[in-house]
């Protein structure tokens, strides 16, 4: 079902866009207020507000979309008319994003993704359509998806649990938010204004009474508590009520409390998945699941299927999606003693150089204690990286794992691999190792098997992709 006539967005967007325009043009409005105060003529302020609201209202009259048999078009522009056209067979996913005001008015923003990064004027976004129209538009736009009337009842793969919040503080998101807020305050000059304020003077007096050490400890505790609170709050608002559901060849993902986001993916374009296990999250038995899918970026929110959650849940959903539980739980092939030595060498070379420098400088004993702790931490890191390293080719899947601070286990469908590259650095050549890279059109486009024995690299490629052996490359066409 298509409609070749130009259609307008919901008239209710007339209540949304003026508000958004005012929020986006706050610097302009502040400038108008300052100018009006300086000249004693408040008409500048009134004119700026009227102009901003007028631009928001004009969007409804200048925006339209049309769905044709072969393409979908979006027409925008107030002073300069622009028509954005997307072939329907290039559409990879359809997502919706409804902020609080949108939800109150029964509206949502519908975005179409072709797999290419699109921002600003190149992004195909219908802001805003009525929420009840989304299922119909989604079924039309995803031309390869199974129509809702023919699809069997969907099954729920995962649902957000409050216990998942325990992984939120382990990502340091709160610290990043605090640092960003401090930077904004500093750039805005608020810090200089507060420096001589009564509040700042009271804080200095309290710090003098507590002493330097106590003040530092209290400050660190306050920052950590604030970081944990912000991390948990962000995770709750962003991923609360998450539901992952599969309807035949369509995957639906919905999450968010105040801002509701929905993503619909064509499962026929799925080429695997990545289990991301940062060190602290892994220590508490957690993992994050990302999709490896044609037309979907391999990092960030675009590819996320499950936020940090129990590792068993992430593995279970991945096994359900790729239809191969054995590949998800399989023991990997180790890369041998040379790869292990390389991890220990890379971890300990810097502490070793630092130790020599300390010995020459004849530093106090407490620095040697710190050096010993550094060496111990580097050793633990090296052991964990060596234990994590491995790969496997099984049942048409390439599995590779590496890393410690940010460990990841990639599951890539061998049929989706379109090219192979074997590379060696100078130190890898000395150790008889190589990096085998599988190229694909999905996710991050390239997935590496790190520090594999060089003599095995092309045989692994030939096992995963028989066409490598058919072209006589099983022994390697040469290292690049």
Question: Where would I find the H helices in 115-161?
Answer: 134-141
Q: 């049309």: which residue's tokens? A: 66
In terms of phi and psi (left: phi > 0; alpha: psi -120 to 50; beta: otherwise), the region of 2 is: beta
* Nearest alpha-carbon partner for 124 in 136, 133, 137: 137
Contact between 269 and 294 under an 8 Å Cβ cutoff? The reply is yes
State how far Cα 362 lies from the chain centre.
47
The CATH number of the domain holding residue 365 is 2.30.29
Residue 16 lies in a domain: yes
Task: Say if 188 falls within a structural domain.
Answer: no
pLDDT at 40: 61
> Of the ranges 145-149, 223-227, 360-364, which one carries the lowest mean pLDDT score?
145-149
* Domain final residue pick, 113, 141, 169: 141
Integer Cα distance of 302 and 430 in angstroms:
39
DSSP state for residue 154 in the 8-state scheme: P
Is 38 contained in some domain? yes
pLDDT in tens, 65-105: 888 888 888 888 777 778 888 888 878 778 888 888 888 88
Q: Is residue 125 part of a domain?
A: yes
Q: What's the domain range around 457?
A: 333-468
Tell me whether residue 312 is in a domain: no
First to last CA, the chain: 51
**Alpha-carbon separation of residue 449 from 120, 346, 376, 474 (angstroms):** 36, 18, 28, 17
Does 108 have pLDDT greater than 50? Answer: yes
pLDDT tens-digit series, residues 292-346: 988 776 666 778 899 999 999 999 999 999 888 888 989 999 999 999 999 999 9
Q: How confident is the model at residue 189 (pLDDT cuts 50, 70, 90)?
A: low
Residue 194 lies in a domain: no
User: Could you tell me what percent of the chain has a pLDDT over 70?
Assistant: 78
- The pTM assigned to this predicted structure is 0.78
Which pLDDT score is estimated for 250? 84
Residue 413 has pLDDT above 50, yes or no: yes
Of 141, 164, 180, the one marking the end of a domain is 141
Chain mean position to CA 61: 35
Give me the sign of the Cα torsion angle 102, 177, 239, 225.
negative
Give the pLDDT score at 243. Answer: 93
Residue 153 is assigned to a structural domain of this protein: no
Rounded Cα distance, 141 and 317, in Å: 26
For 389-422, where are the alpha helices, taking DSSP H only?
none
Q: What are phi and psi of 222, to 5 degrees?
A: -65, -45
Look up residue 171 and give its two tokens.
Answer: 């990502």
Last residue of a domain, one of 109, 141, 173: 141
**Based on the structure, what is the number of domains in the chain?**
2
Let me know if residue 119 belongs to a domain: yes
């Amino acid at each position: 079902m298509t409609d070749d006539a130009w259609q307008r967005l919901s008239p209710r967007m007339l209540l949304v866009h003026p508000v958004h325009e005012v929020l986006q043009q706050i610097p302009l409005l502040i400038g108008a207020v300052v100018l009006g105060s300086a000249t004693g003529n408040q008409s500048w302020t009134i004119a700026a507000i009227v102009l901003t609201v007028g631009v928001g209202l004009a969007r409804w009259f200048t925006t339209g979309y049309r769905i044709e048999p072969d393409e979908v078009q979006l027409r925008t522009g107030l002073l300069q008319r622009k028509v954005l056209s997307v072939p329907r067979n290039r559409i990879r996913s359809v997502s919706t994003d409804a902020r609080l005001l949108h939800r109150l008015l029964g509206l949502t923003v519908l975005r179409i993704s072709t797999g290419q990064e699109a921002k600003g004027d190149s992004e195909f976004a219908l802001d805003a359509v009525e929420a009840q129209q989304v299922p119909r538009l989604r079924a039309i736009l995803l031309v390869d998806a199974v129509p809702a009337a023919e699809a069997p009842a969907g099954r729920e793969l995962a649902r957000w649990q409050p216990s998942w919040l325990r992984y939120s503080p382990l990502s340091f998101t709160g610290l990043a938010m605090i640092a960003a807020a401090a930077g904004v305050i500093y750039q805005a000059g608020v810090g200089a204004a507060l420096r001589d304020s009564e509040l700042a003077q009271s804080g200095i007096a309290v710090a003098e009474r507590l002493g330097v050490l106590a003040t530092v400890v209290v400050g660190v505790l306050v920052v950590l508590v604030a970081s944990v609170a912000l991390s948990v709050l962000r995770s709750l608002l962003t991923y609360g009520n998450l539901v992952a559901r599969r309807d035949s060849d369509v995957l639906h993902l919905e999450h968010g409390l105040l801002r509701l986001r929905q993503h619909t993916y064509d499962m026929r374009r799925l080429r695997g998945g990545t289990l991301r296990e940062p060190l602290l999250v892994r220590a508490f038995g957690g993992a994050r699941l990302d999709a490896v899918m044609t037309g979907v970026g391999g990092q960030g929110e675009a590819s996320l299927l499950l936020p940090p959650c129990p590792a068993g849940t992430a593995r279970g959903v991945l096994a359900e999606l790729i239809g191969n539980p054995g590949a998800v739980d399989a023991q990997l092939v180790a890369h041998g003693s040379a790869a292990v030595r390389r991890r220990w060498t890379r971890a300990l070379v810097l502490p070793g150089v630092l130790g020599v420098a300390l010995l020459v400088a004849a530093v106090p004993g407490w620095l040697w204690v710190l050096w010993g702790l550094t060496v111990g931490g580097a050793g633990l890191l090296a052991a964990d990286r060596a234990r994590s390293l491995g790969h496997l080719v099984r049942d048409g899947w390439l599995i590779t794992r590496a890393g410690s601070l940010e460990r990841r286990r990639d599951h890539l469908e061998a049929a989706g691999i379109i090219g192979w590259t074997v590379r060696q650095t100078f130190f890898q050549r000395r150790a008889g190792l190589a990096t085998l890279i599988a190229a694909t059109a999905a996710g991050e486009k390239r997935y590496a098997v790190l520090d594999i024995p060089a003599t095995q690299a092309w045989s692994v490629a030939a096992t995963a992709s028989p066409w490598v052996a058919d072209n006589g490359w099983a022994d390697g066409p040469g290292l690049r």
